[in-house]
C-alpha cells in the first residue's frame, strides 16, 4: 500500500499558545522477524526508522523508531506557537527513502 | 444477571414471557466498542488517531477517480458522497437481478463492472475496503435497518441456520459464543455480541483494516471449522442475519478493535 502521511496542525493560534500536532503514517512496519509462509525465508526488515518535524528549517521534534512500533505509526506532540509559518514533516524508511508532508499555521 | 434470568424464566413458566417482551422496549445491544478498553475506544473516537481513516481517505480518492471504459467515476453519477448517507444501513439487500442478497461490497463491484466497465476490486483489497468504509462512514451514527421481508426471508433463514449450527473440531456455533456468553472472558478476549456495525474494522491484531467476512473466517478457523470464501452466499446470508440482529444499533464504521 502507498505510504500516505496524514498530519494535523491547528490552522490558527495565538502567540505563546501550546499547540498539539498529530501525525499518522500508513506503513506496514515490517519487523524483519516474520517468515514468508510459502518460502520459509525471513521477510527483510522495512520500517520507518526516523521522524523529524521542523519549523522554518529548525528541528521541533524528532524520534527514532524501532521494529517493536506497530504498523501505521501515530505520533502526537506539542509545540509553542510563536510565529506564522509551515511545519515540515519527514519520515525516513529503511533503505533511505523519505516521505514528506507539511502543514501551515497562522499565529496572531 | 442471575436475578433477571430467574424473573424471565418464572414469567415464561406462567406464560407471561411474550407479554413482558412486548411491554419492554428492547434496549440497543452493547457493541464491541462498549466492551473495548478505554485506549482502544479513544483511538476510535478521534478520526485522526483512528488508523482506519487511512483507508477512508483511499475511498474518498477513489470516489472521484475516473476508471473503466465508460470513462466515469462514482462522482460522475452520484455527485457528492453525502448522497450515500443512510444507503449502507439497508445492506445486505435483495437483488432481483442476482436472485439473491448483495452486500455493499457486492454492490460496489456491480457499479464498477456494470456501470463503469472497470475491473472488479478484490474483496480484501485497499480500494474495496477503502470505498466500503468511506460509504459506510457517511451513515455513521445511523441505525442499521435491514429488511428480512419478502424475497429476503429465505436468505435470512439460511443465515440464521448457519449462525445456530455447531461446527468444527470444537463443535461450536456462533450463538454459543456471541449470544450465550457476551461479557465473559475467553483467553485474552472479552466476548461481545459479535455485531457487524463497525465493519470494515481496523483490528490491532491485523495491523490493518479488514472486512466482516474476514472476521467470519477467523471465527470459523478458531473453532477449527473450514472457513468459507469472502463474498460467498453462506457469509452473505450470515451477514444478513447478523445485521438484522443488530437492527437499531448505530453504525460505527470504521471501528477499532483489538
From B48, B51, B126, residue closest to A22, measured CB to CB: B48
Q: How far is CA A27 from the centre of its chain?
A: 10
Q: For residue B206, what is the nearest residue in chain A, using CA coordinates?
A: A71
Which among A8, A72, A76 is the nearest to B51, CB-wise?
A: A72
Cell numbers describing residue A15: 502567540
Taking a C-beta distance cutoff of 8 angstroms, is the pair A34, A44 a contact?
no
Q: What is the pLDDT of residues B52-91, one digit of tens each?
A: 999 999 999 999 999 999 999 999 999 999 999 999 999 9
B200 touches B121 (CB < 8 A): no
Q: How many cross-chain Cβ pairs, A to B, lie less than 8 Å apart?
A: 31
Q: pLDDT in tens for each of the 108 residues of chain A?
A: 667 899 999 999 999 999 999 999 999 999 999 999 999 999 999 999 999 999 999 999 999 999 999 999 999 999 999 999 999 999 999 999 999 999 999 999
Among partner residues A22, A71, A76, which is closest to B208 by beta-carbon distance? A71
Q: How far is CA B203 from CA A71, B30, B62, B147, in A?
A: 11, 18, 23, 29
Q: Which chain A residues contact residue B48 at CB under 8 A?
A: 6, 8, 22, 24
Residue B58: Cβ within 10 Å count: 24
Min Cα distance B47 → chain A (Å) is 11
**Helices of type H across chain A:** none
CATH class of B30-258: mainly alpha
Q: What is the C-alpha to C-alpha distance for residues B205 and A32, in angstroms, rounded to an integer?
A: 17
**A28/B54 Cβ within 8 A:** no
Integer Cα distance of B86 and B225 in angstroms: 35
Query: Where are chain B's structural domains?
Result: 30-258
Answer yes or no: are the C-beta atoms of A85 and A105 closer than 8 Å. yes
Set of chain B residues whose Cβ sits within 8 Å of the Cβ of A26: 51, 54
The one catalytic residue among B23, B74, B174, B219: B219
Decide if B131 contacts B121 (C-beta within 8 A).
yes
Say whether B49 and A70 touch across the interface (CB within 8 A).
no
Partner B contacted by A34 (CB < 8 A): no
CA–CA separation, A68 vs A32, rounded Å?
A: 10
Q: Which of B5, B152, B42 is nearest to B90 (CA)?
A: B152
Asked if residue B133 has pLDDT above 90, the reply is yes
Using an 8 Å Cβ cutoff, are B174 and B219 in contact?
Answer: yes
Residue B214 pLDDT greater than 50, yes or no: yes
Q: Among candidates B232, B195, B65, B70, which has minimal Cα distance to B134?
A: B65
pLDDT of residue B242: 98
Tracing cell 456491480 back to the chain, one arrives at B110
- What gap in Å lies between CA A8 and CA B46, rounded to an integer? 12
Rg (CA), chain A: 16
Beta-carbon separation of B51 and A4 below 8 A:
no
| Residue pointed to by grid coordinates 449502507 | B88
- Separation between Cα atoms, residue A26 and residue B138, nearest integer Å: 22
Beta carbons of A72 and B49 less than 8 Å apart: no
Inter-chain residue contact A4 with B208, CB threshold 8 Å? no
Chain length of chain A: 108
- Smallest CA–CA distance, residue B29 to chain A, in Å, is 31
Cell, residue B85: 448517507
Distance CA B128, CA B55 (A): 9
Please say if B219 is a catalytic residue: yes
CA–chain centroid gap for B151, Å, is 21
C-alpha cell at A63: 524520534
Q: For residue range B151-206, list pLDDT tens digits in order.
A: 999 999 999 999 999 999 999 999 999 999 999 999 888 999 999 999 999 999 99
Under the banding of pLDDT at 50, 70 and 90, the label for residue B240 is very high
A70 touches chain B (CB under 8 A): yes
Taking the C-alpha atoms of residue B102 and residue B93, their distance in angstroms, rounded to an integer, is 5
Which triple of cell numbers denotes residue B231? 463474498
pTM (2 decimals)?
Answer: 0.88
Of the residues A27, A71, A77, the best mutation for testing chain B's interface (the one with the most B CB atoms within 10 Å of its CB) is A71
Q: What is the pLDDT of residue A1?
A: 62
- Residue B51, min C-alpha distance to chain A (Å): 7
Residue of B nearest to A71 (CA): B207
Residue of B42, B46, B54 to mutate, interface with A, max A Cβ within 10 Å: B54
**Residue B119 and residue B68 in contact, taking contact as beta carbons nearer than 8 Å:** yes
- CA–CA separation, A10 vs A105, rounded Å? 6
- Find where cell 457517511 sits: B138
Question: Rounded to whole angstroms, how far apart are CA atoms B210 and B254?
Answer: 10
CB B165 within 8 A of CB B104: no
Q: A67, A71, A64: which is closest to A92 by C-alpha? A: A64
> Which domains are assigned to chain A?
6-107 (2.60.40.10)
Amino acid at each position: 500500500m502507498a505510504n500516505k502521511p496524514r498530519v494535523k496542525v491547528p490552522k490558527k493560534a495565538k502567540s505563546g499558545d501550546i499547540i498539539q500536532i498529530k501525525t499518522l503514517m500508513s506503513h506496514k512496519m515490517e519487523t524483519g522477524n516474520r517468515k514468508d509462509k510459502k518460502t520459509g525465508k525471513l521477510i527483510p526488515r522495512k520500517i520507518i526508522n526516523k521522524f523529524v518535524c521542523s519549523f522554518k528549517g529548525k528541528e521541533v521534534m524528532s524520534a527514532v523508531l524501532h521494529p517493536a512500533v506497530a504498523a501505521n505509526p501515530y505520533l502526537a506532540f506539542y509545540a509553542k506557537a510563536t510565529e506564522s509559518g509551515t511545519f515540515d514533516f519527514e519520515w525516513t524508511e529503511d533503505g533511505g527513502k523519505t516521505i514528506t508532508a507539511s502543514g501551515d499555521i497562522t499565529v496572531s | 444477571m442471575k436475578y433477571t434470568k430467574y424473573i424471565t424464566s418464572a414469567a415464561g413458566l406462567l406464560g407471561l414471557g411474550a407479554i413482558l417482551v412486548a411491554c419492554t422496549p428492547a434496549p440497543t445491544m452493547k457493541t464491541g466498542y462498549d466492551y473495548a478498553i478505554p485506549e482502544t475506544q479513544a483511538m476510535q473516537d478521534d478520526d485522526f488517531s483512528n488508523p482506519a481513516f487511512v483507508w477512508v481517505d483511499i475511498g474518498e480518492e477513489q470516489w472521484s477517480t475516473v476508471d473503466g471504459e465508460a470513462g466515469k467515476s462514482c462522482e460522475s453519477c452520484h455527485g457528492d458522497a453525502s448522497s450515500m448517507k443512510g444507503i449502507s444501513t439497508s445492506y445486505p439487500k435483495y437483488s432481483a437481478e442476482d436472485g439473491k442478497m448483495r452486500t455493499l461490497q457486492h454492490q460496489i463491484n456491480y457499479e464498477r463492472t456494470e456501470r463503469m466497465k472497470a475491473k472488479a476490486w478484490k474483496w480484501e483489497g485497499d480500494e474495496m475496503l477503502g470505498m466500503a468504509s468511506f460509504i459506510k462512514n457517511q451513515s455513521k451514527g445511523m441505525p442499521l435497518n435491514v429488511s428480512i421481508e419478502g424475497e429476503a426471508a429465505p436468505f435470512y433463514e439460511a443465515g440464521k441456520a448457519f449462525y445456530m449450527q455447531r461446527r468444527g473440531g470444537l463443535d461450536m456455533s456462533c450463538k454459543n459464543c456471541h449470544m450465550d456468553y457476551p461479557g465473559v472472558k475467553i483467553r485474552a478476549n472479552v466476548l461481545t455480541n459479535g455485531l457487524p456495525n463497525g465493519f470494515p474494522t481496523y483490528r490491532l491484531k491485523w495491523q490493518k483494516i479488514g472486512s466482516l467476512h474476514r472476521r467470519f473466517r477467523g471465527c470459523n478457523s478458531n473453532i477449527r471449522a473450514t472457513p468459507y470464501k469472502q463474498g460467498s452466499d453462506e457469509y452473505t446470508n450470515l451477514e444478513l442475519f447478523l445485521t438484522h440482529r443488530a437492527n437499531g444499533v448505530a453504525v460505527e464504521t470504521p471501528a477499532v478493535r483489538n
